[in-house]
Homo-oligomer: A and B are copies of this chain.
Amino acid sequence: MTTALLLVDHGSRRAEANANLEAVAALVRAEAPSLLVEIAHMELAPPSIEEAMSACVDRGAARIVVVPYFLGPGRHATHDIPALAQAAARKLGVEAEVAPPLGVHPLLARLVLHRAGVLDADATEV
């Protein structure tokens, strides 16, 4: 069964903010070349969650894992996006699963140290 990964952020009227998610999606494709990876914005900019899920189905996905691209478990990540994804899944006849948001993870700690440029001798290499 072909699985797609759908990255969903809030969405913005600023093109630069929306482009950020596209850039992350490109890196996800680079890490997992055989995976179908699409993006959607919860609101304010296309593609919507339903539009992007429809595109995944058109490309052969029978199952879509939706990843809310948010740092914390706020209302958008834990309620709004899951509700939109499940409604679209019912309409499109596809299986959808909503993952947790980025949350708390050592990879984020390593990225913080990298951005700070203060990796010390004790730190894990980034």
Contacts and interface: CB of A to CB of B under 8 A. Distances in A.
A99 interface: yes
A72 interface: yes
**Number of identical monomers bound together in the oligomeric complex:** 2
A56 interface: no
A116 to B, nearest CB: 5
Contacts of A104: 20, 23-24, 27
A-B pairs, 4 with minimum CB distance: A27-B109, A32-B123, A23-B104, A28-B109
Given A5-B112, A27-B106, A69-B112, 19 more contacts: A7-B112, A24-B104, A27-B105, A27-B108, A31-B113, A31-B122, A31-B124, A34-B122, A35-B113, A67-B115, A99-B116, A99-B117, A102-B111, A102-B112, A103-B115, A105-B114, A107-B108, A107-B110, A107-B126
Interface residues of A, number: 53
Interface in A66-95: 67, 69-74
